[in-house]
């Protein structure tokens, strides 16, 4: 399935090489934007391991020391689905004011969607 999907994806990318350059793959984006602090495995780094994060309540990794701000938002019911992750990754400080994730946010919608698709495939529960 994955091979077929990537083969199909290659067709338009080959036809429009300029497009292929403007939006890096979700995996590339994850590595360059998130990889210093997170993996899609369950190992904590600067940030919590993201294995299974999609569909999970916020601040659910027990071995990770979340900020009080994140714990409070979790107690209020914050759960990571596509919509809440979209908002958080676009503007972390707006969704979790006072949170400890030092990331400015990904403003570019096409990049953010590519990143979310990668997370859905690799960090879903």
Residue bearing tokens 């990331």: 103
Alpha helices per DSSP H over 16-91: 17-22, 26-29, 68-75, 82-90
Q: Which is nearer to ligand HEC, 99 or 114 (CB)?
A: 99
Tokens linked to 60: 């659910």
Q: Which is nearer to ligand HEC, 100 or 113 (CB)?
A: 100
Residue 40 as a binder of ligand HEC (CB under 6 A): the answer is no
Contacts 24+ apart (CB under 8 A), 61-67: 66/100, 67/96, 67/98, 67/99, 67/100
**Closest distance between ligand HEC and the C-beta of residue 67, in Å?**
3
Residues 13-32 that bind ligand HEC (CB under 6 A): none
Q: Which stretch binds ligand HEC (CB under 6 A): 7-15, 20-28, 54-62?
A: 54-62
- Using DSSP, state whether 39 is helix, strand or coil: coil
Residue 111 as a binder of ligand HEC (CB under 6 A): the answer is no
Question: How long is the chain?
Answer: 125
Residue 51 as a binder of ligand HEC (CB under 6 A): the answer is no
Residue 38 as a binder of ligand HEC (CB under 6 A): the answer is yes
For 81, other C-beta atoms within 10 Å of its C-beta total: 10
Binding site for ligand HEC (CB under 6 A): 33-34, 36-38, 46-48, 50, 53, 58-61, 66-67, 69-70, 80, 85, 89, 96, 99-103, 106
């Amino acid at each position: 399935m994955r091979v077929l999907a990537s083969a199909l994806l290659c067709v338009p990318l080959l036809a429009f090489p300029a497009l292929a350059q403007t939006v890096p793959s979700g995996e590339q984006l994850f590595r360059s934007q998130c990889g210093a602090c997170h993996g899609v495995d369950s190992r904590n780094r600067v940030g919590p391991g993201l294995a299974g994060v999609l569909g999970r309540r916020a601040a659910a990794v027990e071995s990770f020391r979340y900020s009080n701000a994140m714990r409070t938002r979790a107690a209020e019911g914050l759960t990571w689905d596509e919509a809440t992750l979209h908002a958080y990754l676009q503007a972390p400080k707006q969704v979790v004011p006072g949170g400890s994730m030092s990331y400015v946010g990904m403003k570019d919608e096409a990049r953010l969607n590519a990143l979310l698709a990668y997370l859905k495939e690799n960090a879903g529960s």
